[in-house]
Amino acid sequence: MDTKPKRRPVAENGDAGEELVIATLIGNGDDLGPIVRHAFEMGRPEALLHQLKAVVKKKEVEIEELCKTHYEEFILAVDELRGVLVDAEELKGELSSDNFKLQEVGSALLMKLEELLESYSIKKNMTESIKMSNVCVLVLDLCVKCNNHISEGQFYPALKTLDLIEKNHLQNIPVKALRMVIEKTIPVIRLHIEKKVRSQFNEWLVHIRSSGKNIGQTAIGHAASARQRDEEMLECQRKAEEQSVFGLGDFAYMLDVEEIDEDSVLKFDLTPLYRAYHIHTCLGIQEQFHEYYYKNRVLQLNSDLQISSAQPFVESYQTFLAQIAGYFIVEDRVLRTAGGLLSADQVETMWEIAISKMTSVLEEQFSRIDSATHLLLVKDYVTLLGSTLRQYGYEVGPLLEVLDRSRDKYYELLLEECRQQIVNIIASDTYEQMMLKKETDYENNVLAFNLQTSDIMPAFPYIAPFSSMVPNACRIIRSFIKGSVDYLSHGVHSNVYDIVKKYLDKILSDVLNESILNTISSGTIGVSQAMQIAANISVLERSCDFFLQHAAQLCGMPARPVERPQASLTAKVTLRASRDVAYNSLLSLVNSKLDEFMTLTESINWNSEEIAQNGNENENMNEVIIYLGTIMSTAQQILPLDALFMVGSGALDHISNSMVAAFLSDTVKRFNANAVMGIDNDLKMLESFADERFHSTGLSEIYKEGSFRGFLIQARQLINLLLSSQPDNFINPVIREKNYNALDWKKVASICEKFKDSPDGIFGSLSSRNTKQSARKKSMDILKKRLKDFN
């Protein structure tokens, strides 16, 4: 007990605190590493070592004290331990025996256990292998399925299969080599699909371009049918309105409007396009396909807009225009049904390219066309093209403006063609009245142009008052009207009738009338030709109303406005003036022929000693009367009464002037009363003929205050004056105005100077009348003297 207090000061002499800490840590089994590290960091490892040695010494002292204190217990423990050792040896022997037995039994079990573990490992590997195999088989099945789709051309299912492999199975493939092969193959397959689809699309591009002409022709054909239906409807409507206006009863008409679905009629396959667009969309390159499609279609459009120089335009224009129509019909459907493949702006751009090129081509080709028929055919097809494409929303105004600008060219060609035709029919005309042997001839040549003068069908054969030139010219004019309406219809102008009327006036005035005037002024026609021309002009003048009504009918105009007087053609006035020219030419020719018969200065014995009882000795006056009778009979058949009056009066007036001129002729130096009396007899014959014809032709009922005799008044007054018993009465203004108002006193003076009475003349043979002769001679001398005074 005393030893313990003696040890405490030893422990307290050192760094008691730090040793206590170290001892505690060691007693607790804690780690001394931090203290060692701290000592070295503080640079005091020796102090730590010293402290550790102190702790060791302290522990040794404690152990030594403990051993001394428990020495006896320790000895007893050792003895017990030896006993335990003996027991342990026995136990060891038993354990060894049991272990041997256990080893004998467990060896077999251990082998079985090893076999079991190996089987389990194999099973696990097999399970994983089967699982991996299933994944690979599934992927390979999908690959086979994809290949089958590709071989069958089913590219969309192939792409969906590829997406399924790539998104759901590719990363789960346990075989790296297979995974890498599939990873590399997927882009190759997609590229292959893209190329195949692109190839099919290119084939479709070629096909749709080759089909464009048929598509366009079909659509234009439908437009033509629709136009025909519209025209038939307008014609029915016009007839109904006219019958309603004229009170001809109810006129009902039915119009079946057939709605036509253009998409169902125009059948063309866009499936390859839809498929290609869908596949490119699935590939994520739809924008690229947009550009590819637009670029190739623009190239095709530019190619379609090229005109072949190997074929005339009049033979290729339908193909050219139909191809363009088909192109834009396809583009319209693509725009509406392809889901954004084309934009409206792109279609508009393509249309602007096409419209610019088409207008340029048409203007150039129109300038080269030298036939109105060809120009009309092209124009008609262009308007059908415009009507077709207008239904699809395309602006066709520039096309119609080109047609309007070519209007002058068309009329120039048409008028020239009609001029040539009219010149030919005039040149080939026989100027004989047409003989119409049957009713169909009458309908085709008279009724067809409203040339009849009566609504009663005549007996056949029928002699028309005109020659073949009239119906032939009417056919040309009617054809001209039809060509005009056809060209102006469906264009930019709504006042088609006014334009047709303008050019109708032009062809009648500048072509037909001019050609007739050229024939009249050519100097190659005779009296019969001139008369027939005058008759033809009268008929043509009447036909102007028919031409105007026909033009109005074709233009869809109602009949009433056209029938107004102010709506008539100015060509009627022109033809009327030309008719007067023809009458003057006829009269000039008749007068020339009369001059041939009336050679008065040569055929009359101006100083005859005998009194003529029956006119002059020659038969000239009889021939004149026969000729005049023939002329007036023919004129009565084919000329209107006013023209007949003009011819008759003009001829008689010319005869009257010729008689007066015969007295004034320089070849007649002297004449006597016998010659005057002979001329008086001739004049009486003419007067009798004039009166008879004036009444037999019906002119007396029209010209009640006139007569043909009045146009012989100058000759009659001269003869009366020369045979008068008191010729000096001519000096009396009252008597001259009453009996000699048609005579020119200067001419009378010249004629009286040539007049002399024969001593054995009319009065010389009768002594009972000598006084009268002397008075008459005296009166004549007075007249001569007074006339000299007037001069």
- Give the pLDDT score at 235: 72
Position 415 scores a pLDDT of 92
* Beta pairing class for 435-436 and 462-463: antiparallel
Amino acid at 742: A
Mean pLDDT of 235-239: 70
Q: What is the pLDDT of residues 435-478, one digit of tens each?
A: 999 899 999 999 988 888 888 888 888 888 889 999 999 999 99
Q: Which two tokens stand for residue 673?
A: 């009363």
pLDDT (average), residues 589-612: 75
**Nearest one of 351, 358, 384, 349 to 305, comparing CA atoms:** 358
Considering only residues 23 and 499, tell me which one the structure prediction assigns the higher pLDDT: 499
Q: What is the mean pLDDT of residues 9-35?
A: 67
Q: Which residue has the higher pLDDT, 16 or 653?
A: 653
* Angle, CA 765 vertex, CA 763 and CA 771 arms, to 5°: 45
> 13-17, 528-532, 726-730: which has the minimum mean pLDDT?
13-17
d(CA 464, CA 205): 67
3-state secondary structure of 174: coil
Residue 327 pLDDT > 90, yes or no? yes
Residue 4 pLDDT grade (very low, low, confident, very high; cuts 50, 70, 90): very low
The gap from C-alpha 168 to its chain's centroid, in whole angstroms, comes to 59
What Cα–Cα distance (Å) separates residue 565 from each residue in 458, 471, 568?
Answer: 30, 25, 6
- Which two tokens mark 323? 């191809």
pLDDT at 762: 39
Place of tokens 């051993």: 67
Q: What DSSP letter does each residue of 182-218 carry, written as one string?
A: HHHHHHHHHHHHHHHHHHHHHHHHHHHHHHHHHHHHH
Kind plus residue range of the DSSP H or E element containing 446 = none
CA atoms within 13 A on the CB side of 585: 26
Comparison of pLDDT for 425 and 613, the residue scoring more: 425
Q: What digits encode the pLDDT tens for the residues 280-322? A: 888 888 899 999 999 999 999 999 999 888 888 888 889 999 9
- Beta bridge pairs of residue 436: 462
Q: What is the pLDDT of residue 763?
A: 39
Which neighbouring-strand residues pair with 462?
436
- Mean pLDDT highest for which of 71-85, 248-262, 357-371? 357-371
Q: pLDDT tens digit string along 684-694?
A: 988 899 889 88
Q: Return the pLDDT at 5.
A: 42
Per the model's pLDDT, the better-predicted residue between 6 and 564 turns out to be 564
d(CA 517, CA 508): 12
The whole-number average pLDDT for the span 36-49 is 80
Share the mean pLDDT of the chain. 82
Taking the chain, what is the end-to-end CA distance rounded to the nearest angstrom?
Answer: 214
Distance CA 174, CA 155 (A): 28
Q: What share of the chain is helix, strand, coil (3-state, %, to 5)?
A: 80, 0, 20
Angle value at C-alpha 164, between 160 and 170, nearest 5 degrees:
140
Cis amide prior to 461 (ω within 30 degrees): yes
Q: Note the pLDDT of residue 765.
A: 41
Look at 558 and 315; give whichever has higher pLDDT: 315
Model pLDDT, residue 697: 85
Q: What is the pLDDT of residue 525?
A: 85
3-state secondary structure of 671: strand
Inter-CA distances, 591 with 212, 513, 688, Å: 73, 25, 20
What the block records as the tokens of 254 is 């039915």
DSSP run (H or E) holding 785: helix 770-790
Per-residue pLDDT band at 242 (split at 50, 70, 90): low
- Name beta bridge partners: 144: none
Question: Which letter, b or e, does each residue of 436-458 get, where b requires 16 or more Cβ atoms within 10 Å of its Cβ?
Answer: beeeebbeebbeebebeeeeeee
Rg of the chain over all Cα atoms, to the nearest angstrom: 67
| Bridge partners (DSSP) listed for residue 435 | 463
Helix (H) or strand (E) segment spanning residue 123: helix 71-151
Q: Token match 């080939």: residue?
A: 428
How far apart CA 789 and CA 791 sit, in angstroms, is 5
486, 376 contact by CB (below 8 A): yes
Residues 581/517, Cβ–Cβ less than 8 Å: yes
Residue 283 DSSP label? T
% of the chain with per-residue pLDDT over 90: 18
Shortest CA distance to 682 belongs to which of 656, 644, 647, 707?
A: 656
DSSP 550-614: HHHHHHT--HHHHHSGGGS-THHHHHHHHHHHHHHHHHHHHHHHHHHH--HHHHS-TT-SS--SS
Question: What would the mean pLDDT of 704-725 be, rounded to a whole number?
Answer: 86
pLDDT for 776 equals: 65
Contact between residue 659 and residue 595 where contact means Cβ atoms under 8 Å apart: no
**1 SS3 class:** coil
Tell me the pLDDT tens digit for each residue of 753-763: 888 765 444 33
Confidence (pLDDT) at 295: 94
Tell me what pLDDT residue 552 has. 87
Residue 345's pLDDT is 93
